[in-house]
Amino acid sequence: MAADPRTPSAWAAIYAQVQRIPYGRVATYGQIAALAGKPRGARQVGYALYALPVDSSLPWHRVVNHRGAISQRAESDAAEEQQLLLEAEGLNIGDNGCVDLRRYRWTPEP
């Protein structure tokens, strides 16, 4: 099974980037991976969030795939909840469930 996120590992960097996403913004898995120093570790980002406990204070719902859509997990209701959280932050979700990355994509500031 998945290791606890409290366990020191490569995921630590990923969690740090996710926490950096400001309110009302979203970031792609690849973006988080790149910021964490793993330009090809997009899958690891998803895997890290998969192991993330519900009591985590990380804004995991601000992490979407490269199309701005919410990736569906084994438990389908999680994706639905994620969309609600994003809408609550003022994001407009398209009919296909994609956010407007042109507008909401987070760009880390220098």
Residues near DNA (CB under 7 A) are 1-3, 9-11, 28-30, 38, 40-47, 49-52, 60, 63, 65-67, 71-74, 78-79, 82, 96, 98
CB of 37 to DNA, least distance (A): 8
CB of 96 to DNA, least distance (A): 5
User: How far apart are the C-alpha atoms of 108 and 110, rounded to whole Å?
Assistant: 7
Closer residue to DNA, CB minimum distance, 3 or 84: 3
The residue to which tokens 């009302």 are assigned: 24
Which helix (H) or strand (E) segment is 43 a member of?
helix 42-50
Closer residue to DNA, CB minimum distance, 11 or 104: 11
Residue 84: other Cβ atoms inside 10 A: 10
User: How far apart are the C-alpha atoms of 110 and 22, rounded to whole Å?
Assistant: 14
Residue 23: other Cβ atoms inside 10 A: 8
CB of 18 to DNA, least distance (A): 10
Closer residue to DNA, CB minimum distance, 2 or 16: 2
